[in-house]
Structure formats: C-alpha cells, structure tokens
Amino acid sequence: MERTHVVVLGAGFGGLSAVRELARDRRVRVTLIDRNNYHLFQPLLYQVAIAGLEAPQIAWPIRALLRRYPNVRFLMGNVESVDTVDKRVWVDGKAVSYDYLVVSVGSIAHDYGIPGVREHAIPLKSLSDAIHIRDRVLSAVEEAVRTVDAARRRALLTFVVVGGGPTGVELAGALAELNRHVLARDYPEIAPEEIRIILLEAGERLLSYLSPASSAYTQRTLERMGVTVMTGSAVSEVTPFGVRLQDGSFLPAYVVIWTAGVKGMPLPGLPAGRNGRIPTTPQLFIPEHPDIYVVGDLNGLEVDGKPLPQVAPCAKQQGAWAARNILRRLRGQPELPFRYWDKGNLVTIGRNHAVGEVRGLRFTGRLAWLAWLAVHIYYLTGFRNQVMVLGNWIYSYFTYDFAVRVIHRRHQFPYPEEAVRLEEPLVETSAS
C-alpha cells in the first residue's frame, strides 16, 4: 500500500512537534527538511551572545532526534519555494512531492523598513547571529582599550539593544552582568561605568504584553543593574556609527543589536498576510490549499481579532495539532479547530531576578528566576545539553564568570575620519 507522504518544512519547535505526532502512525511516511542539520533552542541564544554558553549547548543534531522513527527521513537543504499546483517543494533546485505539507519555517527579524537596520544592526535569530554579537562586543572592548580618541572609545563601549520585548530585556540584562562581573575584572584599563548598555523601546513601557507592574519591576531592575532604559524612543536610522532616534538625536555606538520584532519567513508560492504571517483556518490549513498546514511563528491565525503569540509553546501545540488533523483526515474524521493553551510568561532579567505571569498570578525576584531556570533546563533538547548548561550556570553563579570569552572572528570598526566623511558626528546628544 502506498503510504501518504507528509513533508514537514523546518525542524524548529513547530516542525519537530508535528513530526513526533506523525511518526506514531505507520500509514504515513514523513520527510523533514531543514537548512541546518540541528534543532536550535532559540530561548537561550542570548546566552551564546554574551559568552555564557557555547553554541553546541543549545543545538541538537536533527538526525539524532529522529533515530527512533523508522517512517521519518531527514533532508538537509534550503527550501526555495512551494509549487501548490503540482504539490511539490523546491529544495536546492530539486523537487520533493507531497500529499500533505506542514510549513514551520519560523520568522526573521523585522526591520520595519527602517534604513540601515539590515546593514548595520545585528539580529538575534540564529547561532551565527549570536556568535557575531559575541565577537562584536568582545572586539569592541579590545579595540577600546588601545584607542586614544575619547569619542571613539565611548562609541566602542556603548552597546545599544533595540526592542524592549523579552529578548531585548534578557540580552540587556545579560550584557550588564557580563560588564559587571567579567569585563570589569578582565579589563583593568576600563572603568565599569565606561561601558554603557542602552535599551531602546519605541513604546511607553518594556514587556508591554505583561502588566504595568511587571514592566515597572523590569525597568527598575535593569536600571539598578546599570542599563540605561529609554522608552518612547523610536529608531529612525542605524548607521555604521550608531543609532538615530525619531527626535533627531544620535547615539554613537558600534554595537547595535536588533530585537524589535519578527515577521514571517518569506516562502515564495505561499500567500503572506500581516507581518508576513500566513493566514489559516482554525484547523491550521491555508483556506485555498487545504493540504498545506502552517504552524508556529509563520501561522497568522487570529483569535478574537488578535494574532497568536510567536512563542515556543504555541509553535509546539500547533505542530502537534496540525499533525493530528492530518491523521484525522486520513481516518475520515472531521478536523478540529486549534485551541491554544497559554502556559504563561517568564522573562529573566539577571541573576536572581525574573518576572513571571501565569494565569493572573504575578511573581518576581528569585522565585521567578528559579522557575525560569527550571523551565529552560526542562525544555532544552538533549540530556547532554541539559547537564552541560546546568553545570555552566552553576559554575557562573558561584564564580561570577562567563566561560566562553573567545573571539572567533575579530571585528574591524570604522574610524572617526570615515564618520566625518559620512557626515555622522560622533557627538553625544542624549542618554549620557
């Protein structure tokens, strides 16, 4: 008997969850396709960026995850487009046919069309982004040590994080800890207060999806850790020398990290809606293409007029749900509309400080921080990684040390003369 072929695009949270569910039914054969040979645990990417964890500790080989599923095969390749007429996907120039497709290729950083973001700011979406940030931060500090020009030194020692959502908050807090506990000891040539971490948020408060009390706690904690929080500060341009704000002021900085939002990963052949996300029916398939399901960050289903959150639990739940709906269809049963189970929110700010909101309950401080640690260790893929990350955190907690301060590729920073040539003054206008 010819088995139904389900092709799953993307081995992130949504794709893997779909594969696990489909693998239980031997009437289907599954092909999982990803451009990387590893599954990435994005929630800990910021720790790689601040030299707290090594890259392999938050990634896991996809083939190792699939070993126990005989009806699943993995294809490493870049998905270029979907041909909905002939029911096939193009992968590195070759066609792969499907009976059903589950699309879970995630999201990319959203630059909102702001000039210079793509060229000069670093997103935090992939392992190479995280390593790039680490290289840039450490290279900037090394460069600052040997620079005699005061304005250049100040710009080299200013790290700007754009976006006061969970990633921006976690990253800004972690950079403050890197400064206070590690750089202060490694670089006697630099006074700790010389290093400035600026968190820019266009809206009126950080973590705007949480209660105002949680936002206030987060801002207070970050400021106590030495982060300059600037709310109501929308970016109008990023240049090689810093960030211009909508009020016209310019913040000289050689390291600008962009965590201001994401949009759906573009995939030619499929329709895209608001923020690049693909609208689906509540059963998670595309209305015009009932054999194509979309899950995770790319899914644009709205519930009560609001899009679902782009978080790992939602991607996992949708992946499993879409798989179950495919299997229901094969059995001739009706498909069920997706119901999201909101597990709550947890954001870490720094050592002993986090904020959590679960079903109307708000908690902060060490309790929230311990809960954050436990949840992340529990969900991290691979027992070896769980042990190594936990070991790393215990080591850092007691020694105040971040183990991975290695520059893979030294970054070269443009000189002030070039700044003058490009008419970008290295002059402070705010957030001093």
Q: Which residues bind ligand FAD (CB under 6 A)?
A: 10-15, 33-36, 42-43, 45-46, 78-79, 104-106, 124-125, 166-167, 265, 296-298, 310-313, 315
Q: How far is the CB of 131 from ligand FAD (least distance, A)?
A: 13
Q: Distance between CA atoms of 269 and 98, rounded to whole angstroms? A: 15
114 dihedral zone (left: phi>0; alpha: psi -120 to 50; beta): beta
Q: Which residue, 19 or 157, has its beta carbon nearer to ligand FAD? A: 19
Q: What are phi and psi of 364, to 5 degrees?
A: -135, 180
- ∠ at Cα 215 (211, 220), nearest 5°? 145
Q: Which residue, 17 or 239, has its beta carbon nearer to ligand FAD? A: 17
Q: How far is the CB of 362 from ligand FAD (least distance, A)?
A: 18
Query: Coil, strand or helix: which one is 427?
Result: coil
Residues in CB range of 324: below 8 A, 6 or more apart: 21, 336
Q: Which residue, 309 or 414, has its beta carbon nearer to ligand FAD? A: 309
Q: How far is the CB of 273 from ligand FAD (least distance, A)?
A: 16
Q: Which residue, 105 or 190, has its beta carbon nearer to ligand FAD? A: 105
- The separation between the first and the last C-alpha atoms of the chain, rounded to the nearest angstrom, is 71
Token duo for residue 117: 């973001």
Q: Is 100 exposed, middle or buried (0-12, 13-18, 19+ CB in 10 A)?
A: buried
Q: Which residue, 157 or 265, has its beta carbon nearer to ligand FAD? A: 265
Q: Which residue, 46 or 187, has its beta carbon nearer to ligand FAD? A: 46
Q: Which of 333, 340, 302 is nearest to 319 (CA)?
A: 340
Residues in CB range of 393: below 8 A, 6 or more apart: 373
Q: How far is the CB of 38 from ligand FAD (least distance, A)?
A: 8
Q: How far is the CB of 215 from ligand FAD (least distance, A)?
A: 17
Torsion angle of the four alpha carbons 238, 243, 248, 250, in this order, in degrees rounded to the nearest 10: -140
Q: Which of 254, 295, 298, 258 is nearest to 277 (CA)?
A: 298
Q: How far is the CB of 14 from ligand FAD (least distance, A)?
A: 3
* DSSP structural state of residue 219: H
80 is catalytic: no
Give me the catalytic one of 54, 80, 143, 170.
170
State the catalytic residues. Answer: 170
